[in-house]
Structure 1
């Protein structure tokens, strides 16, 4: 079954079940079971052993603890505790009251979130969780649905990090590009130069950032998003009452301290930012033996360890603030318990997403899709759009942008160098763009899961409400890549993509105004 058309069955079944049942744990579990059965020719006992081994492999690999995964889970638990402390001290409430006096409009509150997303460009995980913590008090007070907040977070976190050379994504990609240029004997560019020149060709990432601000400013609430926003405005319910408990939501669990100040929120978050970025720099330097540069630091940094250190430091500061208050509204043990409990739904989803990712990797789903491209006899003019679409499908099916990068970038480089080397950078950029597009559409992406967590949104509500906007950007980008393939001019594709997105925004805004 590996590397054949059957390898896409688990991903298809999982995606269909998610859309039909809206039960992400059930859907992921079904995909895992079916995938394991396919790997072992429907031997139930062997398939169950495979599932057990994959689950254990999340925590222990090669006889050693899998510290990367454990640290990320630990950071999520710390984030839950921090959220509880920020609410209990009254910091979240005070910040919301302070901001609502300065940002007086709902539009301003919506625009603030993507602006924060652009500022925090170091890492997508960090972006998704930090922006949610900062923006949520204000967006809740302005009755902006959590689904819309999750869209703002998700559609800025991955796009800005994939465009920034000084980020965990940028450093990783520059390293891959350097190897590809050497392997294919391309001497026209240095790796960093090639990455920077690819930025104008990364149409989906650029288009998504544009669309986020258009949605915020023109109130472009379409598809399922309109239902969430209407309920938030008319009923004051930023969450669907039927969605159940969501990560990070502590409403009605305990009341805030009446003497809370905004520094009770801002200082822990500032500590989180400073401690995490400092840890990223230190771990990056520690991993380099020589030739320390800013780029090499971010290429070698330990993101999960840095997040854990930043989270632990911020929780410590928030805890000190809580203990200093007179007559705290909640006991420390209760805060820790409730904070951890709110993060468990996100962790369950993340664990199953990692498991289905391993299953899909063993089925060689990505390799199967890549081989389709490699063996197809297609005009070189259509290579950028083909790579964009295939990377999108692969990221959608596998739930990983980075995995898609690793599989598709070498293939794109090899095919394009042979077919038309002048399209090398557009083709590589199209892979990056397609990977982010697929990442935005799949419920099993780490970034999508963490965006839901950061926003305190129901995960499937986020996936379903973001999908129409992702498709608008993707369609405009696909046309842009066709134009680039024909003209070989980045500006023409860039302008056409932006004009198409602006045109869609104008039409949607006009139609909504008439309702």
Structure 2
């Protein structure tokens, strides 16, 4: 069944169950078992062996610890501990009180994570988790739903990272493009030059970012998002407490009443500084030959750097907490509650890795790619088709990077051998489609971590973000049609953005955000 249409069954069944049951772990578990059954011709013994193998290889593979995964999981726990110390020290409360004196509206509170998402472009994991810790005290005060915060984080993190050359994503993509250029013996541009020229052709990321700000300033809350925002504004219910919420401490301990803003700011600054320094150090260590900024970010060890940043952040939070006077909870209780708060995210991430590996063995991505290659494609509409196929692949597999690895060489090879003028637009469309599919997929690690950073139930985040991703994707599709007709990247981008604006104003012609609601706080 590998590499056939049947390989689509496990991800499709899993996605349907997620939509119907809203129980992500059960849905992922069914997808894992079904995929393993199909891999081993429905042999129960072999299936159970496959499931066990996929589980333990997350932690131990090829005779050694799987340090990349262990570092990331450890970082999540350290982040939970850091958050717990920031809360217990009164830092989160003090920051909320400080920020509310300076940020006067709900729009301003929502703008903060959106702007930070664009400024912090080094890595999507770091972006997703760090911004939530900074923004949550403020958005909570202004009764912004956690699902809305997760959307603001997720829809700025991957889009900005995928067009930034100085980022973990950018370095990887530039290296991949350089190989494709060399393979096809193209001499018109280098990998970096090609990446920079592709930026305005990556229509989806600009549509998604524009829609974020239109959603904030026009109060464009649609679908499930509207329900979450109404509950938050009218009832103060920021998140459904009956569901698993990663990163939420649920008032397990009282905070110190004399907490100060620096009890939150210092651990965040330490987290950012230590992570960036570690990325530079590991990048230099992993670079052979000429050490440049691009090579550093290409060879950096992101997960190890996140672990280092998380460790120093947790230590700084610990020190600030123990040096405070007044009644405090025990250190073990704060640390334990912080760790427990991250368990839902860890469970989902582990299950997502398992089903991702099984889908890889079923060769779902290769099947979709093969179907794409077999099409008789008119070169001018190659970007549109590449965008749609890449989006479907990233949605089914939950990985942007995996889609990059499969689709960039295929799209580049087709363009180079049919119409070389489509080379850069086709590669840009791969990046656009990959981010789109990633935004829609419940097994996307970036979406899981955005939920965690925001303290939102994961499925609530997926369901609220989906309509916005589809609007951006529809506008992008029209943009690529225009490109096929005109070969003008600028006109295509303008049309794409214009469609997003028109959709927002057509659905919500009047911003119904009253001044009373706008200024209302907790």
TM-score bracket, normalised by the shorter chain, equals over 0.9
Structure 2: how far apart are the matches of 1:7 and 1:507? 40
**CA distance change for structure 1 residues 514 and 165 in 2, over 3 Å: closer, same or farther?**
closer
Task: Give the match for residue 402 of structure 2.
Answer: 403
1:322/1:328 contact within 8 Å kept? no
Aligned ranges 1:55-134 → 2 under 5 Å: 55-134=55-134
Structure 2: how far apart are the matches of 1:62 and 1:511? 59
Task: Give the match for residue 190 of structure 2.
Answer: 190
1:273 aligns with 2:288: no
How many Å apart are 1:329 and its aligned residue? 2.5
Task: Give the match for residue 262 of structure 1.
Answer: 261
Task: Give the match for residue 19 of structure 1.
Answer: 19
Structure 1: how far apart are the matches of 2:143 and 2:208? 24
Aligned ranges 1:211-226 → 2 under 5 Å: 211-226=211-226
Aligned ranges 1:485-500 → 2 under 5 Å: 485-500=484-499
Task: Give the match for residue 315 of structure 1.
Answer: 314
Structure 1, gaps ≥5 residues long? none
Structure 2: how far apart are the matches of 1:513 and 1:337? 43
2:448/2:458 contact within 8 Å kept? yes
2:162 partner SS: helix
Task: Give the match for residue 503 of structure 2.
Answer: 504
Structure 2: how far apart are the matches of 1:45 and 1:317? 49
Structure 2, gaps ≥5 residues long? 515-522
Structure 1: how far apart are the matches of 2:121 and 2:510? 34
> TM-score, structure 2 length as denominator?
0.97
1:204/1:473 contact within 8 Å kept? yes
1:423/1:485 contact within 8 Å kept? no
Structure 1: how far apart are the matches of 2:131 and 2:97? 18
Task: Give the match for residue 143 of structure 2.
Answer: 143
Structure 2: how far apart are the matches of 1:256 and 1:117? 28
2:439/2:465 contact within 8 Å kept? yes
2:219/2:512 contact within 8 Å kept? no
Structure 2: how far apart are the matches of 1:72 and 1:252? 26
2:509 partner SS: helix
Task: Give the match for residue 234 of structure 2.
Answer: 234
Task: Give the match for residue 447 of structure 1.
Answer: 446
Structure 2: how far apart are the matches of 1:512 and 1:460? 27
2:219/2:513 contact within 8 Å kept? no
> TM-score, structure 1 length as denominator?
0.99
Task: Give the match for residue 249 of structure 1.
Answer: 248
Structure 1: how far apart are the matches of 2:207 and 2:16? 27
**CA distance change for structure 1 residues 126 and 143 in 2, over 3 Å: closer, same or farther?**
same
1:285/1:292 contact within 8 Å kept? yes
Structure 1: how far apart are the matches of 2:360 and 2:284? 32
Task: Give the match for residue 519 of structure 2.
Answer: none
1:2 partner SS: coil
How many Å apart are 1:381 and its aligned residue? 1.8
How many Å apart are 1:206 and its aligned residue? 1.1
1:291 aligns with 2:295: no
What whole-Å deviation, never above 9, does each CA across 1:477-515 have from its counterpart, x for those lacking one?
011011112211101110100100011111122166499
State the aligned residue count. Answer: 514
1:69 partner SS: helix
1:89/1:264 contact within 8 Å kept? yes
Aligned ranges 1:293-372 → 2 under 5 Å: 293-372=292-371
Task: Give the match for residue 168 of structure 1.
Answer: 168
Q: Please say which of residues 498-507 and 462-471 is displaced more in the overlay.
A: 498-507
What whole-Å deviation, never above 9, does each CA across 1:94-131 have from its counterpart, x for those lacking one?
00000000001111111111101111100000000000
How many Å apart are 1:170 and its aligned residue? 0.1
How many Å apart are 1:289 and its aligned residue? 2.1
